Structure 1
Amino acid sequence: MEWRKYYMDVMFVPFGLIIILAYHAWLWHKTRTQPFTTIFGRDADARRFWVPAMIKDIDKKNIVAVQSLRNVIMGSTLMATTAILLSAGLGAIVSSTYSVKKPINDAVFGAHGEFVVALKYSTLLTLLSFSFLCHTLSVRFLNQVNILICTPQDVKSMVTPEYLTHLLEKATVLNIVGNRLFFTALHLQLWIFGPVLPFLSSIVMVFILYNLDFVAENGTTNEEDCVYDI
């Protein structure tokens, strides 16, 4: 009768993840086909004009450009630090004795054997580790843009606005992926207390993200000329 111990975890947790994955697949499709209905499409369009505008008058706007990039770097650094600290905390919990975790496990629904406990913590560690990786790579590209955007422009220069825009797009995509992995890890942390909470939190998270990711269309815009990599 082992199924009675695991059926709630097998049903609720994967279904909650499927809801989140389906939402992001739909968000990616909307960003590709109707970019101005999402904040990612509008931000990508703004970045496409922001880099040439900074380079065109860099002598007067160099401080604005550097400070703007620095703010994004600080945000990615904060998220990377938080992710690695949570990973270290989870590692400490995993390495602790089972007797410390047993009172908590006995109070939750669903399976709470040693295998399931190890699966929960290993899943969280994996998501947080990849979130840390994405944010550190994002900081790397942002630092590169931060330096190259102030280089003198020359006819033979290889540092073109298109090249800098491409680097900034990579940094932005990595930042977005790192944030969404971090949010998913926070959602799965509730799995420690049972499989019902992460399922309910996935529905709440999709509702919150929908209100943050989509914007109302104001006026008409030609979207056929806009192609984004997000």
Structure 2
Amino acid sequence: MEGHTLDLVLVPLGIFSMVSYHAWLLRRITTHPTTTVIGINTINRRIWMKTMMEDPAKNGVLAVQTLRNSIMASTVLASTAIALSSLIAAMMTGCGAYTARSRHLVGDLYSVKLFAILLCFLLAFLLNVQSIRFYSHASLLVNVPVKSHRCAAEYVARALDRGSLFWSLGLRAFYVSFPLFLWVFGPVAMLCCCIVLVILLYSLDVYSGWGMETPPDEETAVL
């Protein structure tokens, strides 16, 4: 009974910390995009796409190869997600049969934990499939000359942004799976993992040096 009480308290607390962080990150991206890695990458992707489409004869092969690499990255994540989903589903089937025979040894909460992990990986699979879809659209349209239509570059850049967005969300689903895995070992481990994950994501998502000029001394040191 005490373990179930900890689950009711610590697990919602860990989920709340993750949701609160991503709500804060979304607000920061929309209000101050140049202070986040996602916002800076979005700006640079649009610049890159317009540069590629200005001279498709010269940059077409480079653009297609870059997008192909992105498609391969999404394909790897999607394949991994669906493989892990199949594994978790098999574990749930075995757990259900064992629970029916020995309910006093295996509780229903264990099945709930596995089901949460399964949903997480299924979501990662769907997001990465959508990422492949938009990357494929962008790779097909990247060689369209900008002169053919004034909105061509903007449309292709938007498709590239959506592909990158779905890829980032799919990767976040993998991140979220770590606390869910540790939930199997107890709510305390799950809460600790959520806190550590929020700290790590903050260090990866926030960047405050965009637009700052590099002092001459630092440029000399780099050279």
For Structure 1 versus Structure 2, the TM-score category normalised by the shorter chain is 0.7 to 0.9
For each residue in 1:171-207, what CA deviation from the matched residue of structure 2 results, as whole angstroms up to 9, or x when unmatched? 1111111111121012211111111111001111111
Match of 1:165 in 2: 157
For each residue in 1:67-100, what CA deviation from the matched residue of structure 2 results, as whole angstroms up to 9, or x when unmatched? 1111111111111111111111111111115687
Does 2:138 correspond to 1:140?
A: no
Superposed displacement of residue 120, structure 1: 0.6
Aligned residue identity for 2:73: G
Does 2:64 correspond to 1:66?
A: yes
The two structures have a TM-score, normalised by structure 1, of 0.84
Aligned residue identity for 1:149: V
Once the two structures are aligned, what percentage of the paired residues are identical? 32
Query: Following superposition of structure 1 onto structure 2, how do residues 1-230 of structure 1 map, counting pairs within 5 Å?
Result: 2=1, 4-97=2-95, 113-155=106-148, 157=149, 160-219=152-211
Distance change >3 Å, CA 158–CA 90, structure 1 → 2? farther
For each residue in 1:211-230, what CA deviation from the matched residue of structure 2 results, as whole angstroms up to 9, or x when unmatched? 11111325459xxxxxxxxx
Superposed displacement of residue 125, structure 1: 0.8
Which deviates further from its counterpart, 66-75 or 137-146? 66-75
Aligned residue identity for 1:204: V
Aligned-partner Cα distance in 2 for 1:153–1:35: 27
Aligned-partner Cα distance in 2 for 1:219–1:81: 38
Aligned residues of 2:60 and 2:143 also touching (Cα < 8 A): yes
* DSSP 3-state at the match of 1:215: coil
Aligned residues of 1:148 and 1:159 also touching (Cα < 8 A): no
Q: How many aligned positions are there?
A: 210
Aligned-partner Cα distance in 2 for 1:210–1:5: 31
Distance change >3 Å, CA 152–CA 45, structure 1 → 2? closer
Task: Specify every segment of 5 or more residues in structure 2 that has no aligned partner in the other structure, as ranges.
Answer: 214-223
Q: Root-mean-square deviation (CA), in Å?
A: 2.3
Distance change >3 Å, CA 23–CA 97, structure 1 → 2? closer
The two structures have a TM-score, normalised by structure 2, of 0.86
Aligned residue identity for 2:126: L
Aligned-partner Cα distance in 2 for 1:59–1:10: 60
For each residue in 1:8-39, what CA deviation from the matched residue of structure 2 results, as whole angstroms up to 9, or x when unmatched? 11111111111111111111111111111110
Aligned-partner Cα distance in 2 for 1:42–1:219: 10
* DSSP 3-state at the match of 1:96: helix
Aligned-partner Cα distance in 2 for 1:99–1:49: 55
Aligned-partner Cα distance in 2 for 1:9–1:113: 16
